Structure 1
Amino acid sequence: MAVEGTERRVTRRRQRTRANLLDAAFTVFAAKGFGRVSIEEVCEAAGYSRGAFYSNFDTLDELFFALYRERAELIADQVTGALALDGPDLDVPAAVDRVTDVLLLDLDWLLVKTDFLVHAARDAAVARTLLEHRARLRRAVADRLARARTPLPAVLGDAVGAAHAVVAAYDGVTTRLLLDKDVEGARAWLGQLLTALLTDGGGTARASQED
């Protein structure tokens, strides 16, 4: 029993060390950019030795990918939760407000995500990780829109097409956000854009299409 208790303590300590390394790396990557950061800098920011690093990660690349997956999955979960609050009759403006609050909370995340995008453009394995995350976000949006009785503009096609439009709008707005750092302005603009995409002429267009 004593051995089992020790193993549990070691496991919890290792999990805590890993989490602290990921948190520290997030701050350092956002400040300096991946490719300009050393293992020593991550360890110093976390308050650990290189030994603690190598007990959790083989390379800085591995840590970076783990960090991206962790944050991306958290955001996908938050988006799914934000979309799940309405009943069958989706309140589009209210849902858009909740989603934009989740998506635009953190400029540091956008910097790290952009670094990941640059790596994905040059590495097929990294690209698959990024595409999987984007597909999960699109599925969360598409599934919610498909279950709603709220009509969509015919130009978007179905819920899958609408989800692609939502993600594309987010990409465009966040590119500007990275440059002007106006979080509130970006949130407002994205909210207006998504509401217009998902509602303008929707009832008339869908009704005429179904007729």
Structure 2
Amino acid sequence: MHTRANLLDAAFAVFAAKGFGRVSIEEVCEAAGYSRGAFYSNFGSLDELFFALYRQRADLIAEQVSAALASDGPGLDVPAAVERVTEVLLLDRDWLLVKTDFLVHAARDPEVARTLLEHRARLRRAIADRLARARGHTALPAVLGDTEEAAHAVVAAYDGVTTQLLLDRDAAGARLWLGQLLTALLTDGSTRQ
């Protein structure tokens, strides 16, 4: 397990620096200080390692969001929940570079796309479940439709802000913008953080 974790850490650094399509198994092994044999005893291919890395980080984000949304009672204090979510979300530029590589890879490969869609569905489910539990206590703007549509909108807002973060490299600004955008999206827009 230690070898696998070291390979994942090394791969993350190499993928972030060079891009997924420009990395070889040898480069990952060299960065981790392991042989190809150690690589193949943990992963069948570079794609498998990439999926494992993506899954590891994506699961962390889903857990962070779920935990941040779990602290309210039956109602949902949208500005407070948004603030908690934006504080814990992984807005690491290197992760966003790797995530973007995965997205581009998925756009070209239906099998990879299924993996990405499964993660995004888990994330949306966590958000939609929390919004559904708040129904009756906290109203969503009618334009969002149901909680599933609201969850899609939240993930789309996150995607937009993180894409901008890749370009301007302002993590503090990205957290602020994401908070303002989500608060406006999930309320009538008059509630400010």
Q: Do the structures match in fold with TM over 0.5?
A: yes
Alignment partner, residue 180 of structure 1 = 168
> Any runs of at least 4 consecutive aligned residues in structure 1 with deviations exceeding 4 A, and if so which?
none
Rounded to whole Å, the distance in 2 between the matches of 1:107 and 1:201 is: 29
Gaps of 5+ in 2: none
Query: Deviations along 1:16-70, whole A, 9 cap, x unmatched?
Result: 1001100110111011100111111111111111111111112111111111111
Query: Deviations along 1:123-169, whole A, 9 cap, x unmatched?
Result: 00000000011111111001001101211101111111111110111
Task: Please state how far the C-alpha of 1:101 moved relative to its aligned partner.
Answer: 2.3
The structure 1 residue matched to 2:180, chosen from 166, 175, 192, is: 192
Q: 2:183, 2:189 within 8 Å by CA — same for their partners in 1?
A: no
Equivalent residues, number: 188
- 1:141 is matched by which residue type in structure 2? I
Query: Deviations along 1:52-106, whole A, 9 cap, x unmatched?
Result: 1111112111111111111111211111111101111211111111212233431
Alignment partner, residue 92 of structure 1 = 78
Alignment partner, residue 12 of structure 1 = none
Q: 1:142, 1:159 within 8 Å by CA — same for their partners in 2?
A: yes
Rounded to whole Å, the distance in 2 between the matches of 1:171 and 1:42 is: 28
Which structure is higher in RCO with an 8 Å CA cutoff and minimum separation 6?
2
Larger Rg: 1
Rounded to whole Å, the distance in 2 between the matches of 1:177 and 1:201 is: 23
Alignment partner, residue 24 of structure 2 = 38
1:22 paired to 2:8: yes
Identity %: 85
Task: Please state how far the C-alpha of 1:201 moved relative to its aligned partner.
Answer: 6.2
TM-score, normalised by the number of residues in structure 2: 0.93
